[in-house]
A and B are shown apart, each in its own frame.
Chain A
Amino acid sequence: MSEQAAAHRPYPELTWQALIFGALLGVIMTSAFVYVGLKLGFGLGGSTVAAILGFVVLRALGTGTIIENNVAQTIASAINVSSSGVIFTLPALLLLGEDFSWAAMILSATAGSFMGVVLIIPLRKQMLEFDRLRFPSGMAVASILRSAGGGKNKALLLGIGAAISGSVLVLIEEVNVLPPSLAVGDWLGIPAYTGTALSLSIMNIGAGLLSGRGGLPFVFGGVLAWWIIAPAAVSSGWIPPEITGDKIWGELYFEMLRPTGIGILIGGALAGVVAAFPAISAAVKTLSSAAKLSGKGGAEELSAKTLGFGLSGAVLLLYCASALIVGPMLAFPVALVGALWLALAGMIVAQATGMTDISPLSGMALIGVTLMLAITGGQVAAAVLVGVAVCVGIGQCADMMQDLKTGHLVGGIPRRQQLAQIFTGWLGPMVAVGTVYILWHRFGVDANGVQIPGFGPESAACVNKASDCLSAPQAGALQGMIEGVVGGNAPVDKYLGGGLLGLALGALPTAGIGVLVGLAMYLPFEITLGYGVGCLSGWFLEAKKGRAFFSEKVVPLAAGFIVGEALTALVLTGITMIAG
């Protein structure tokens, strides 16, 4: 091919290679991460891995452009995101010994996956263009994708950042020479129940660096929760006398601050919807006007009409899944309330992720399950069915928005990314639910024909402390919450009080304060403090050194912090799994 012809060849973007590579990688990561989640209790993100592997594999196939690689990582993470949603919810049903239809669970997770994507697409303009949310992980992935052409200095800073955060994680997890957090509170003589410690997660600090001044209300919320409200609660005698020492922190966190934080998150988000209504309405109007330009090559977004069809189909799918469990009549309110909750929770999670990189997924699933228990009169299977859809859906909301942020920074066409996510996202639920099914049935039935549990603390492997024990800690947590709700112990007073407080915070002129304050109460203080150190440093550097310095030096370094810890965690997890 002549040089001139080479210069005019079509630019590879949404290619078969990207589709197949992204889908294969997504399927592999989903099944692997479901296993990891059942064993270790945490989910893993796949975008950074996919972006790095994409360069290697797609370039070996002769393409591997920046934007094609972005499509591949969009597909891989769209599939993989289902793993976190499924492992938090579905195994709880198995541990509770409930009867249910596996087909209904696949339908529900698939409905959630579609719904999450189509619900959040109209908010792309509002979150990315009007509000300019930072989505730190999306910025980190964009830094990886752009590293080839961003100049040696940026690539070097990215590498240095990754090396620092990866090394710190190894020193904490493997060499054990560093603690997971610094006991700052002990040094300052602050009571231990405030949990005043500085997490040494460099990824967390990196997310704070990228968020800068915008993340400071989150830190303010943490300070208020743990340095004002917690000591006031202790001195008011709210801690039962039998709870002493380290257990006071747990009582404060799990019984008082966390449920109040969930309430504030919800109230803050509701107020945010009202306050952002003009922006959302403007976003939908500009979406419609963009669609009208399609004949002139202006179709850079999926049209509102297409999204409407997608949403209707997804709600119908959730109705069918619900009907399989609760019958056709009760399935109406279940599907309707489930879809409404998914929409609100998806906005909360996307906004929280955009502002802080932290996703309150479990809290949102808990509220979804609580709502469903109330609607169905305590039918646990129906409640978890909707919980599966909500968890998968809100994961998709955050992932889609994060991928669109990356796409904006590398110049991808949103419509192509949206189509890629819609057409491949359904694979994730099938693989994740299928993997749970296989793992649950791996020991077959006993002599009496009774199913032997494949995971959970009661499974033979865990009772015998075998290396293939999958204790499913996240599902155990949801199981405990469901038992509490069914037993009438849901902290509705704290949800209500927190909700009203969140609504009041919506009156402030700055958007998102309620979500940030709620998130700060929802999380342990050590995460908030580490993130706060990053925010203050980012704000200071941007103010003192200027925007160009921030963009040239701080962004690649902070992106390296995020990427290095994510990749090292993945490698260490792989080693742990192989070593049993």
Chain B
Amino acid sequence: MQMIIQFALLGLGIGLSGYSAARPVEAASQSGRISVWLSQSGLLFFIGIALIIAAAVLMRRQAAALAQSPLEAAASDPSELLAALKEGAAEVLDGLRQDEPRTQPICDRIDGLRDGPIQALVECKDSMVARHGMLAYAQFISEVSAGERNLNRAWSTLVDGYPAEALSAAERANERLRSLELPTS
């Protein structure tokens, strides 16, 4: 119900203000265009803007309440996701340390990490930012992304037939991820 009210307010607000903003205006000068527009459409336009702001306030309140709900109640627990990512990255590294690394299983494992724990960690952004702030989230996700990019590099270089380069990329990924902790307030 709350969501319906929010979207109704937002739709009505954009509709009213968009309609008023698009109104044709005839005036002799550029500044004249603005004053004519304000006198003809100003009231309706600002009512629309007020509705948008009201919708934004309600949406922000709801988002804040959701973000403060326990992380464990969310679909995925970030600490478990991070542990799964670290474990997967270590498995990739072990696979590449074999005398003859098996390309397809390693590539599939990397794809699985990208679509699994990494994607799920990205989806925890709003709650992490609400709890720990943007800078802490940025530092955390930067490390995850650097690890992800190095895993992607291991994928590409292994497919190209350069297992030594793939191994160094996987080592770099593990370096970035191994000591990584979830942001703390």
Contact surface of A with B, Cβ cutoff 8 Å:
6-11, 65-67, 125, 128-130, 132, 145-146, 148-149, 151, 220-221, 224-225, 228-229, 232-233, 238, 255-257, 260, 263-264, 278-279, 281-283, 285-286, 290, 300, 408-413, 488, 490-494, 496-498, 500-501, 504-505, 507-510, 517, 521, 547-548, 550-552
Contact = CB atoms under 8 A, between A and B. Distances in A.
B149 to A, nearest CB: 5
B24 A255 contact: yes
Contacts of B157: 11, 65-67, 411
A282 B159 contact: no
Interface in B116-144: 116, 119, 122, 125, 133-135, 137-139, 141-142
B134 A497 contact: no
A384 to B, nearest CB: 20
A504 B52 contact: yes
Most A Cβ at <10 Å: residue of B55, B103, B159, B165: B165
A238 B169 contact: no
B35 to A, nearest CB: 9
Interface in B4-57: 10-11, 13-15, 17-25, 28-30, 33-34, 36-37, 41, 45, 48-49, 52-53, 55-57
Interface of B: 10-11, 13-15, 17-25, 28-30, 33-34, 36-37, 41, 45, 48-49, 52-53, 55-57, 59-60, 63, 103-104, 107, 111-112, 114-116, 119, 122, 125, 133-135, 137-139, 141-142, 145-146, 148-165, 169
A492 B30 contact: yes
A263 B148 CA distance: 38
A149 B103 contact: yes
The 7 nearest A-B residue pairs measured at CB: A411-B153, A149-B159, A497-B21, A282-B138, A411-B152, A507-B56, A493-B37
B30 A488 contact: yes
A488 B137 contact: no
Nearest to B45: A497
B52 A507 contact: yes
Contacts of B29: 488
- Binding site secondary structure of chain A: helix
Contacts of A256: 22-24
A550 B14 CA distance: 33
Given A66-B156, A129-B145, A229-B15, A493 B164 contact: no
A130 B137 CA distance: 8
Contact of A411 (B37, B156, B161, B164): B156
Given A229-B22, A238-B24, A279-B134, A7 B163 contact: yes
A517 B14 contact: yes
Scoring B17, B22, B160 by chain A CB atoms within 10 A of each residue's CB, the highest score goes to: B22
A125 B142 contact: yes
Contacts of B57: 507
A509 B63 contact: yes
Contacts of A494: 21-22
B22 A257 contact: yes
- Of B15, B49, B135, B142, the most chain A CB neighbours within 10 A belong to B142
